[in-house]
A and B are shown apart, each in its own frame.
Chain A
Amino acid sequence: MKPRNETERLSNPYNDDKVMAACSIFGMMDISGKAVPGGDVIRAIANMHDRSNGLGGGFAVYGIYPEYADCYAFHVMYPNNETRSDVERYLIKSFAIVHSEEIPTQPAPHIQDPPLVWRYFLLVDSDQRGEQSEEEYVFDRVMTLNTSFPGALVFSSGRNMGVFKGVGYPEEIAHFFHLEDYKGYLWTAHGRFPTNTRGWWGGAHPFSILDWSVVHNGEISSYGTNRRYLEMFAYQCTMQTDTEVVAYAVDLLVRRHGLPIELAAKVFAPPLWKQIDYASQDERTLLTMLRQTYSSLLLNGPFSVIIARQGEMIGLTDRVRLRPLTAATKGDLLFLSSEESAIRLVCPDVETAWTPMGGEPIIGRLRESLPLPKENLEVAVA
Chain B
Amino acid sequence: MIWTIVKREMLEYLKSAKFLIGLAITLVLITFSTIININDFKQRHQDYLNAQQEMKSDSFRVQVYRPPQVLSILIQGYDRKLGNRIELTYLNIPAQPSGYMGQLTSQHHRYLAGFSAVDFAFVVRVVLSLMVIFLAYNAISEEKTHGTLKLMLANRLPRDQLLLGKFIGGLFVVMGSLVISTIVSLLIILFNPAISLASSDWARILGLLGISALYLICFYTLSLFISVVVSRPSIALLVLLQLWIFLIIIYPNLSVLAAENLYNLPSEQVIEKRKETAFQPYNEEFTRVTRAFHDAVEKGDVPNELALRNVELWSIKAEKNYEVDREFGNCLSHQMNLAQTLSILSPAVLYDQAENRLARTGMAEFERFMDGVYRHWQKLVEWQKLRRIDIEAYRKTKLLDFAYPSETTAYGFVTTMPQWVILFLFSLILFTLAYTAFLRKDVR
- Answer yes or no: are A and B bound together in one complex: no
A interface vs B, CB < 8 Å?
none
